[in-house]
Structure 1
Amino acid sequence: MVKLLDLQEQEISENVVVNDLQFEIEHEQILDVLTVCAKIVPKSGSIPILQNLKFDIKGETLFITAMDTEQSLLQMIPITNTGGSAGSFLFPAREGIDLLKRLPHGNLTFVKEGWTIHISYGKRGKANLKILSSEEYPNLPQPVTDEFLQIPSQVLRKAANAARFALGDDKTPALTGVHLYNHEGKLGFVATDRHRVFRYVTDVDILDPDQFVSALIPAIAFKQIVDSFHGEQVDLSITKHYLILREKNSIYFGRQLDLTFPLDSLNVIFRGENKGMQLSINQSELNDTLNRALSLDATNNRVTLEVDEYGVFVVHTESENSEVCDPFEDVAVGEDFPVMKFNGRYLKDAITICDKGIQNIHLRVSGSSLPGFVSFEGDPSIMVVINPVR
């Protein structure tokens, strides 16, 4: 656990309007930050002020805030403050970012005059953008905790794979999120779309389980922000209303979904993770087979796993006009292995989320009508449950 950095406190507490703001920054540096901000800015204009980014200049630092109704992001970038002044304004997100994407590499000079920002680039290039006052821009959430879990970025990126298994529409809103929870003293992540379940139990200790608060975070937003992190470590905190993620130069607030995640029901499913029979399959070979199978127009992308008349484990699929059947002669399996039918795309998603270097996947089954459990040789932290199809 670590104390909250002073990152947010460095933000300008008042919206200062000055006309002689002038600073320099490298094109690539500001574009990298703005590209992440673009993922936060709402696509609809229901709240027009949120179509802008807040620029705060203080000393040799530019603070950029992006916000929608459910999430906020504050990032800081070093600049050369040639004007020597402090102040703030609203920068038009869509038009401004699109413009900056098309500017040449190299140094950029920003000069504020009235409600116009002048951008100089290259030898003599100039562009002008209308800007707005930042006086009515919403404030960032104020964290009510100073305690964070320190999480390696690679662990968080692994957890963000959960987004692939969350529901992609709002028919059941609680299933559009990734659930962060206490799994026997470790930080766990779980997501489901009813057809499959992803569970990842990290090795991150929850030091005070009695005070730990679980969270349900929109899956797409969670994946997008995690993918934007480039450092080796991310600090994570969960409050009553927010998931807070913090790197050296940024802090993110994601509002929790105020919904009940069906964790208890999923835990009942996981009681079968050690039952039935298990076989080991080469991950690369199975992935190649599934790629071939998915090229066919099979109903529900159905693939069948079974033991053929010669006692060989096979994976096959068929459409109205075509058929693919691949034998896996090295797979040790008994004749009592049940005929299992899965959605091939779901099975492919399950076997391709493993770390590089994983050679074999484990598939455990108990019966044709019961879920299959996918895990990875040498990495017990991830388990994917897939329901069979007819």
Structure 2
Amino acid sequence: MQRVTPQDANAVISADDFAQTVVNWQRQHGRNDLPWQQHNDPYHVLVSELMLQQTQVKTVIPYFQRWLEQFPTFTALANADEQEVMACWQGLGYYRRARNLQAAAQKVVADYQGTMPQAMEELREIPGVGPYTVGAIRAFAFDAPAAIVDGNVKRLLGRLFTLPYVVNKSTHDKYFWELSEHYTPTVNNRRFAQGLLDLGATVCKPRQPTCELCPLQKVCCAYQQDCVEDYPKREVKARIPTRPGHFCLDINGQGVVLEQRPADGIWPSLWSLPECKEAPQGKPLTRFKHTFSHYKLDGHVWVTSLPPSDRPRRRIEPEHLANIGLPAPIRKLLEQLNWDEVCQIQL
């Protein structure tokens, strides 16, 4: 693999020209009315960035607004009950992000009196804040110089310079960061960072990019060589497997039995129908499917008496389910159940 250095990239477009082009385009055509852009509040930036990890903007917006209504400040989130936090996050998936967000709030309150620090060294110590989020906080909250690299930025750089680097291979990340740092300006960082993300999300899209609208079209190597669809380079991964899961439904007029899942594994610490390793004695009721990052779950739900367990269990009435942190497919299943009919099933 032949490395593309900042000096090589400069032969395509200089750092100053690149930054000015992105800033000018963002001012005219970028996204400037997103809810977390309105106040440039560090807490708002942190919440939005963690929610936006592996989740689309249109999905995040209503969750972001509800979150701020319930937890408007670092202090409010730091002092909140964990189940309230998980219930508010329910449906976004990747629940570790919610725990990281609360842990981050607790760190900011305990160590920085509820005020987000600006220094990179201090930001790196905050739970859930990785290199990208450090850059996003510095750029969006403080308008300070900071490189950012995410999927949008990798795709944009990959096409612009026909980079040989593989976007889904962690050992290649350092090359993208090197170029991003080279092209990061010392002024207008908020608008520049937003411009990079906007170009990737709305113009230099993964499929059917609208190159005719791109301000970098004239210098884009992939466009000039008519090979836009060949970039960025991606390593083909094996198809993810499907695994069965067996869930026990113990339901009566007083509610449904839920069990708190372990702190590791899928749906960590959420409340769910108790799961057993094999099909239990009972009557099959329904099935559901759910896709995780590393496998697909083929869920089987059984009306059955519960096997013993040392995990916490609670019987929850239907009207109280909204206050419990549940995995999205389990909540959907319980909401769609005809409880009266299921309660009449004889084992």
TM-score range, shorter chain: under 0.3
State the TM-score, normalized to the length of structure 1: 0.26
Would you tell me which structure has more helix in proportion to its own residues?
2
Higher Cα Rg: structure 1 or 2?
1
Query: TM-score w.r.t. structure 2 length?
Result: 0.28
